Structure 1
């Protein structure tokens, strides 16, 4: 049984608080030279040898006895079979969660629009779904059917014609919940390949794996490194860091609830980050006691302990106003406002991937079934990034139509600006379409 280690305590009133906070938050997904070179070699092999390389790497890395690429393809009938292999309770939960995710994301769908100016010029935007999206799903026991729903459903709501899923099956271990989730979410094709080789196959295509326009979904360091290398050839969702939670509490929530909320992210992996901010020093003591009491009861106690003691913290602030300032500084993936009136503080929150309002709204609900996406910006990137959504699977094309009069008017402006940039062809192209005032009057 794990003996809990004391969690770090910080105080915003200390002169060196900013330095300690920066150190606490620092994390970089750095691929060392060996990982980077290995990924480049894998990508090169997949580009050159296609399916044969996928079969070879799957044998080597996953211990799967595959002879040909057909051994690594699951058809729609296999996904439907998975629905019968899970329990009725599991199926009901998946279907309820999928429906809530779908309803929420349908509100995000953007439509094309146009407007017409007085001279007949028409401007607008044409919104078009991607043709094909690739979904990477981690395999084996550490796989997450909820991630299948969160990645595939927004793509389908956006109108993506084909969603291709890749999921490794180490030593032949198939997760029926993942396949059932793929069936419910409308995934079109599944290949049981993983790692950098799966990312390369989606990015460049092979004889059997179709080339996609965007790759989404979490993975290990090899997957993340491969996504970095293929970006530009295809779009990617993000390079995600470890999961993180920041709880802002006024000191009135049950400390056991708060401790378990912190655990809910800490149990993901040793690098996950769980932080509590409160103006109530006594409450921080009570939460620390709850952490010590509850940790030995957790299945993943070792992981939680490493995460909590390595990257976690209890932070005392002057008041709730300063708590919000610290929250904005951290820009967390998940932010719980465990306070009496969360709506009163919502307007001041500027940086957060998802905001969980009130004492009863645990972050875990957002992970599975609330409806909003659980693919969120990490490592402070909520300062400039948003949750995964329907908009990530739609492109926008500008529409410009000029009437004769409109082209003439715009041409005069364009001519001046183009000649100011010494781009004569630009200027003359616009000038050819200028109609003088006398001609317009006829």
Structure 2
């Protein structure tokens, strides 16, 4: 079967550009009502019945019919065996990627993940205590594809942060276990792993069952059911983000081989039909060359059908007036992955404010960031890079304020606090501060 991919051809000089641009970008993060209803039922069932409910849903959705949930836990021996059984090239690549991811996140921790304190002139100590979460759950997608890279990107920063226990869940439909995923869990230091997935796995992690321990935070991508479940359990546990379809935006000045850029657009389009790939370029002839490369290379892709639909439905090749205008449009989009495919990437980088990750220069393909460059590949999508950040060590730590007020400090701070507390009508707050004063004033009435 022959597939064709026709991304929308837009130009910023066209009178209807804004309308066409908005229509191409639109994607609703709202989950289908039927999914929400089913997820709510699953979560409540797991919360009420624990292991028994997880077993029923795992049998129904993944075709794994076992007597106890313990049979779906992967032992450390099994994880190590998967690692030992990999071909040498895969094992070496996995370890090399893990080393780079760990090195990056260790540097991240040193840069801003430490506790600190100081004393002011009256001896009062003020500061911040940074501590790791006790236990986190990581969701690793399974089914259509396996993602060992997701294991590294979620587990390693948690490990670097000092999390004591990392619980992994991964669906294995019909019992098909991916050796690379299991080996990645071994390399990344996962504490316990269960072959369960979907909303029932999120519920088990959030509420705890007789077999699956309750965690403090859940991270990792998943399908619409997983996203809906994470949204619903937020508050009971922390979550990283609600991820939408994958995105790539390429800013090109025409200096990179067109085939390279076409393949970079493919690299996100092949994830699923809702993924979005956009090119912004001031050179119309270069855009023509990229479209020609798309036409030539698409038939060579095993996932050609998915790529074709993604590019035709959500892709765009946009002709801009200049690279400056391209940067401004990029900031409006706030993409998950942003490639600056230019001979002068550092000229344009200062103009870019909003992106999950910025890839500078023609040799920096987005796929390197997905697997082994070092920075995290769990990134904000759907424009949320305007206010969100990549997953990192800081997501697996929490901060406690430290306050130790000296006797001298209590004299000045007590007067301030009491005055404000009386103004708010909270007499007990005011008296608690006044009792520390050397001369305790009589209690005042408040309005």
Same fold, judged at TM 0.5 (above): yes
CA displacement 1:130-177 (0-9 Å, x = unmatched):
000001111235110000000000000000000000111101111111
Give the counterpart of 2:272 among 269, 274, 282: 269
Structure 2, unmatched stretches of 5+, are 441-447
Note if 1:234 corresponds to 2:237. yes
The 10-residue stretch of structure 1 (166-175 or 26-35) with the greater mean CA deviation from structure 2: 26-35
Structure 2 residue corresponding to 1:425, chosen from 419, 423, 428 = 428
Is 1:156 the counterpart of 2:147? The answer is no
2:231–2:242 contact (8 Å) kept in structure 1: yes
Number of equivalenced pairs? 437
Q: How does 1:183-202 map to 2 (within 5 A)?
A: 183-202=186-205
When structure 1 is superposed on structure 2, of 188-197 and 413-422 the one drifting more is: 413-422
Contact 1:140 1:174 in 2 (8 A): no
Query: For residues 400-411 of structure 1, what are the structure 2 equivalents within 5 Å?
Result: 400-411=403-414
Indicate yes or no: 2:144 matched with 1:131.
Answer: no
Whether 2:63 is the aligned partner of 1:30: answer no
1:320 aligns with 2:323: yes
1:107 aligns with 2:107: yes
For the residues of structure 2 that align with 1:121 and 1:182, how far apart are their CA atoms? 46
Aligned to 1:62: 62
- Which of the numbers 101, 124, 144 marks the counterpart of 1:121? 124
> Could you tell me how far apart the structure 2 residues matched to 1:150 and 1:95 are?
13
Hey, what does 2:305 align to over in structure 1?
302
| Structure 2 partner of 1:394 | 397
Q: CA deviation at 1:251?
A: 1.1
| 1:178 and 2:181 correspond | yes
**For the aligned residues, what is the CA RMSD?**
1.2
Contact 1:139 1:168 in 2 (8 A): yes
Could you say what secondary structure the match of 2:108 adopts?
Answer: coil
CA–CA separation in structure 2 for the residues paired with 1:160 and 1:282? 52
TM-score, structure 2 normalization: 0.96
8 Å contact from structure 2 (residues 129, 401) kept in 1:
yes
Assess if the C-alpha contact under 8 Å between 1:340 and 1:359 holds in 2: yes
Residue by residue over 1:374-409, the C-alpha shift from the partner in whole angstroms, topping out at 9 and shown as x without a partner, is: 000000000000000000000000000100110111
Question: After the TM superposition, which of the residue ranges 365-374 and 289-298 deviates more from structure 2?
Answer: 289-298
**CA drift at 1:33:** 2.4
* TM-score (structure 1 length as normaliser): 0.97
* Structure 1 partner of 2:50: 50
Cα distance in 2 between the residues matched to 1:238 and 1:139: 19
In 2, the alpha carbon distance for the partners of 1:3 and 1:272 equals 17
- Give the distance between the partners of 2:3 and 2:191, measured in 1 at CA: 47
The 5-angstrom pairing of residues 271-420 of structure 1 reads 271-420=274-423
Which is further off, 86-95 or 22-31?
22-31
8 A contact 2:240–2:391 mirrored in 1? yes
The answer (yes or no) to whether the contact 1:141–1:175 under 8 Å persists in 2 is no
2-structure distance, mates of 1:101, 1:27: 31
Tell me the equivalent position of 1:78.
78
Cα displacement string for residues 62-99 of structure 1 (whole angstroms, at most 9, x for unaligned residues): 11131111211111111011012221110100000000
Alignment gaps of 5+ in structure 1: 438-442
User: Which runs of 4 or more aligned residues in structure 1 lie more than 4 Å from their structure 2 counterparts after TM superposition?
Assistant: none
Q: Counterparts of 2:30 and 2:180 in 1: how far apart (Å)? A: 32
Alpha-carbon separation, structure 1, partners of 2:410 and 2:79: 55
Change (3 A) 1:16 1:419: farther
Bigger drift between 426-435 and 346-355 goes to 426-435
1:41 aligns with 2:41: yes
**Deviates most, 241-250 or 81-90:** 81-90
The 8 Å contact of residues 5 and 294 in structure 2, kept in 1 or not, is answered as no
With 401-410 and 7-16 compared, the bigger mean Cα shift is at 7-16
Report the Cα distance in structure 2 between the residues aligned to 1:201 and 1:376, rounded to whole angstroms.
Answer: 25
Give 1:422 shift.
2.3
**Does the 8 Å CA contact 1:58/1:66 hold for their aligned counterparts?**
no
Show the counterpart of 2:445: none
Alignment partner of 1:391: what SS? helix
CA contact (8 A) 2:5 2:307 kept: no
